[in-house]
Amino acid sequence: MTVALVTGANRGIGREVARQLAEKDYDVIVSARDEDKAREAAEAVGGRPLALDVSDADSIERAAAQLTEDPGRLDVLVNNAGVGTDWGVSGTDPDFEAIQAALDTNFFGAFRLTVALLPLLRQSEHPRVVSVSSGMGGVAEMGGWSPGYRVSKAALNAMTRILSTELADEGVLVNSACPGFVATDMGNQFGAQKPVEDGAAGIVWLATLPDNGPTGGFFRDGEPVAF
């Protein structure tokens, strides 16, 4: 069975990605920073729970050790866990603690976890890494405000480029996805309308790419977007 780990899978887009992967018969590790929430979501979507706080290096180390023991393999990693810590804050008057908090989860969390799981991913015949980024992190068309969120997602996209390049010869496909403006707890604050099923679908597409699929890309709904 193909094993997939989804971070921040207790609610929102992560939970829906986990549900869609389980529906495709993936063995889905449903992770959340709260153990009870991981268990509840895993039961609901048909996966297995894992406690994992991506902003905590010890938690990442424990999770990697646990996965190495059982199930002992990993084919797909979906770095979905994310926070917005400085919505609407001006770049001319930044809150540096909020920027650090965004980086800790959205960038360092995903980077540290990906590296910790590389030994397992490298053993897979079809390894895939998908990082859930945002159009707000695209530098080419970047606007103002929310500097912590924007910079953390731009850094996440840089991680995608770096790792996809270095792992290309090993067949590890590494991509970033923007889910669009999705009606979750995060998106609802701003009136998002896109159904969570549709936001998750583009991520699941990248998680289930064939071996000749793209790597080092940034996609929304299966279409390339500017980094």
- Residues that are catalytic: 149
- Choose between 47 and 187: whose C-beta lies nearer to ligand NAP: 187
Q: In what order do the strands lie in the sheet with 218-220?
A: 48-51, 27-32, 3-6, 76-79, 128-132, 173-177, 218-220, 223-224
The distance of closest approach from Cβ of residue 128 to ligand NAP in the complex, given in angstroms and rounded to an integer, is 17
- Choose between 102 and 173: whose C-beta lies nearer to ligand NAP: 102
- Choose between 116 and 182: whose C-beta lies nearer to ligand NAP: 182
**175: which strand partners?**
130
Q: Is 221 helix (H, G, I), strand (E, B) or coil?
A: coil
The distance of closest approach from Cβ of residue 125 to ligand NAP in the complex, given in angstroms and rounded to an integer, is 28
CA distances from 191 to 19, 156, 178 (A): 24, 25, 17
Choose the binding region for ligand NAP from 19-27, 67-75, 122-130, 181-189 (rule: CB under 6 A). 181-189
Binders of ligand NAP in range 74-133 (CB under 6 A):
80-83, 105, 109, 132
- Choose between 79 and 124: whose C-beta lies nearer to ligand NAP: 79
Q: Is 77 helix (H, G, I), strand (E, B) or coil?
A: strand
Choose the binding region for ligand NAP from 87-95, 114-122, 163-171, 185-193 (rule: CB under 6 A). 185-193
Please list the alpha-helical segments (H only) found in the chain: 12-23, 35-45, 57-69, 96-102, 110-123, 147-167, 185-188, 196-207
Using CA atoms of 112, 227, 19, 73 in order, give the dihedral in degrees to the nearest 10: -40
Binding site residues, ligand NAP, CB under 6 A: 7-8, 10-14, 32-34, 53-55, 80-83, 105, 109, 132, 134, 178-179, 181-182, 184-187, 192
